[in-house]
Structure 1
Amino acid sequence: MGGRQRPPKARNARPEARRRTGRPGDPRTDGPAVNPGLEIARLEGYLAWEAEVSAAERDARAFADRFPWLAPDDREALEQAYTDDRLRYAEEVVDRAVGRCRALAARYRAECRRICARWAALCLSVAFAAALLAALPAALHG
């Protein structure tokens, strides 16, 4: 069937930090840095997409087998249309999941900032109260 489909486009990959060795001409500072976690995630994504493409093609062949009277060209067109629709749907599912993950991450970051601000206010209040209580006896006796 017309070759492999392209995997979904990269979704706002974070810029990678360079490793510094302090030596001029070191390939680790001259070229792009390698982030093993990011590379593993990319490999996992690639393998997952290839598995989806294979499953879509397999299911397209199984679907086309239901119509034995189709001419070879019509069968190939049906398989390609089925595969394209399935992969388009899979990409939409991935896009929705990525959007949901980003929304949750933003929500959790905001909640974390709120909790940290509350703790900072509480700690400052306790420190202020302790300082006030420590200074109060000296002020009353003096």
Structure 2
Amino acid sequence: MGIARLEGLLAWEAEIAAAERDARAFAEQFPWLPAAERENLERAYAADRLRYAEEVVDRAVERCRRLAARYRSECRRICARWAALCLSVTLAAALFAVVPAALRG
């Protein structure tokens, strides 16, 4: 497992723990509810928060993919321009070296 993947897994586990902690704190605001209903409220709160967090992560991943594709394309374009420039300079240098010799002799 790569470092980035492990880091992502740890971040998600931390998000789960935070969602559960916050859900408990939210449910504690309703002490008059029976314990079973407070537990249901906690589960619903945590599930909603994790669903939202997953949507945020999915949007970020998609944005990263789009940016990576754009940057790869831009890099290819820049590399092609540099290759064309280097080839042009090389050909010009070769012509400047050959033409005077051909004219002299």
Normalising by the residue count of structure 2, what TM-score does the alignment of the two structures yield? 0.94
- Which position in structure 2 is the counterpart of 1:128? 91
* Alpha-carbon RMSD: 1.1
Alignment of 1:42-81 (within 5 A): 42-81=5-44
Instruction: State the number of aligned residues.
Output: 105
Structure-2 separation of matches of 1:42 and 1:104:
19
Higher helix share: 2
Amino acid at match of 1:95: D
Normalising by the residue count of structure 1, what TM-score does the alignment of the two structures yield? 0.70
Q: Report sequence identity in percent.
A: 77
Larger radius of gyration: 2
Query: Once the 2 structures are TM-superposed, how far is the Cα of residue 68 of structure 1 from its aligned partner?
Result: 1.1
1:112 aligned to 2:75? yes
Identify the range of structure 1 (131-140 vs 49-58) with the bigger mean alpha-carbon deviation: 131-140
Structure-2 separation of matches of 1:65 and 1:84:
17
Query: Once the 2 structures are TM-superposed, how far is the Cα of residue 67 of structure 1 from its aligned partner?
Result: 1.0
1:95 aligned to 2:58? yes
Q: After the TM superposition, list the runs of 4 or more consecutive aligned residues in structure 1 that deviate by more than 6 angstroms.
A: none
- Which position in structure 2 is the counterpart of 1:15? none
Structure-1 separation of matches of 2:103 and 2:36:
99
Structure-2 separation of matches of 1:123 and 1:45:
42
